[in-house]
Copies of this chain bind each other. A is one copy, B any other.
Amino acid sequence: MPQWVPIIILGIGNVGRALTRQIVDLRALHTERLRARLEIVALADSDGAIFQPGGLQDAELDAILRAKAQGARLRDGELGAPLGDLLGLVDVAVDDGAIVVDLTASDTTIPALESALDQGYGAVTANKLPLAADLATYRRLTDHRRFRWEATVGAGLPVIATLQNLILTGDEVIRIEGALSGTLGFLASQLEAGAPFSAAVREAKQRGYTEPDPRQDLGGLDAARKALILGRMSGLPLELSDVVIESLYPAAMNSLTVDEFLDALPALDQQYAQRVAEAKATGLTLRYAAEVSESGARVGFQALPPDHRLARVRSSDSIVIFQTARYNENPLVVSGRGAGAVNTAAGVLGDILSLIA
């Protein structure tokens, strides 16, 4: 008999849809290769929750996900218990092998994750916020050995597992450098190709590469959270406020609406054109990079020589360079596509599978 692995998914967006698809499509493979049968027993978001102790039927999952994609609400009141409340209910019905998966972009899931881990559940998150909360919360969560967070940095790329492995096998991090934002990588490449800053931002927004409010990307906060996670894993006692963040727009523009912000952007064009020209004049390449070392963590534009590893990857790729005691002159480097719902879901699924090893 295959091992029964009940999965509870919090947050039902693009990644949740992709993950559900993968779990259903790969059930035969997992049963054959891992003697494990993954069953989604609950779905919850801020609307409500659906819970089926025996596992939701594939057709039912399809219908729910299709409805959600079209903007429907979960059947409110089915349990009437969104997110955190769900755990108490699930608790009575599933065993210790259950795995809670956080695919939200909300820090309200922190109590649910903690409660799940305290009760012996596994927990997997693609959501950076719990790990980028205050240091005490980070430590309480990561102190649980059945907690995984691969997809928080680099989507499906093996970044977190690699760093965790380095640390647990006794290596010492000297420095981590990375280009971790597809959005800012795209911007950098557009600027280098000669596009004005304002046009590059509009293009990124039109292609769906940015959040609805592009300031969430341009402010560097997302990249900073990733640097914070890598720094904390490396043993640095950092708070988010310790990360030096270069925002790509002045703070005064935070008071604008999104449309006002986009209209005001051309005021920044000349400054960026000059920066690109200066870099080019000295043969350098602009990249929005993250850096973590003993002296702290920072994210921002860097002008790099063309043979620097960060400059050599395609701007749409993510890359992480681990320089450690064992990988010192020959750093350990991981690169590739580090974004997208399917790749992120694969990162989450890999974490789930690591919990049933």
Spell out A's residues near B (CB within 8 Å): 22, 25-26, 29-30, 33-35, 143, 145-146, 156-158, 161-162, 165-166, 168-171, 312, 314, 316-317, 322, 326-327, 329-337, 342-343, 346, 349-350, 353-355, 357
Bound-state CA distance A165–B34 (Å) is 12
Q: Is the CB of B312 within 8 A of A22?
A: no
Q: Is the CB of B165 within 8 A of A350?
A: yes
Q: Is the CB of B336 within 8 A of A335?
A: no
Bound-state CA distance A157–B171 (Å) is 13
Q: Is the CB of A337 within 8 A of B330?
A: yes
Contacts of A156 in B (CB 8 A): 169, 326
Residue picked from A30, A337, A354, A355, most chain B C-beta under 10 Å: A337
Give the residue name and chain of the B residue nearest to A169 (CB): B346
Residue picked from A26, A169, A357, most chain B C-beta under 10 Å: A169
Contacts of A25 in B (CB 8 A): 170
Bound-state CA distance A192–B322 (Å) is 28
Contact A334 B333, CB 8 Å, known A169-B22, A169-B349, A357-B145? yes
Q: Is the CB of B168 within 8 A of A353?
A: yes
Contacts of A165 in B (CB 8 A): 158, 346, 350, 353
Q: How many copies does the complex hold?
A: 2
Interface of A is mostly: mixed
Give the residue name and chain of the B residue nearest to A334 (CB): B334
A356 CB to nearest chain B CB (Å): 8
**Told that A157-B332, A158-B161 touch, could you supply 18 new A-B pairs with CB distance under 8 A?**
A26-B170, A29-B168, A33-B145, A34-B168, A35-B145, A145-B357, A165-B346, A165-B350, A165-B353, A168-B350, A314-B330, A322-B336, A326-B337, A327-B336, A327-B337, A333-B334, A333-B336, A354-B357
A329 CB to nearest chain B CB (Å): 8
A276 CB to nearest chain B CB (Å): 23
Bound-state CA distance A332–B333 (Å) is 10
Q: Is the CB of A335 within 8 A of B337?
A: no
Contacts of A33 in B (CB 8 A): 143, 145, 168
Bound-state CA distance A336–B165 (Å) is 15
Bound-state CA distance A261–B28 (Å) is 53
Bound-state CA distance A349–B143 (Å) is 20
Contacts of A312 in B (CB 8 A): 312
A5 CB to nearest chain B CB (Å): 13
Bound-state CA distance A347–B145 (Å) is 19
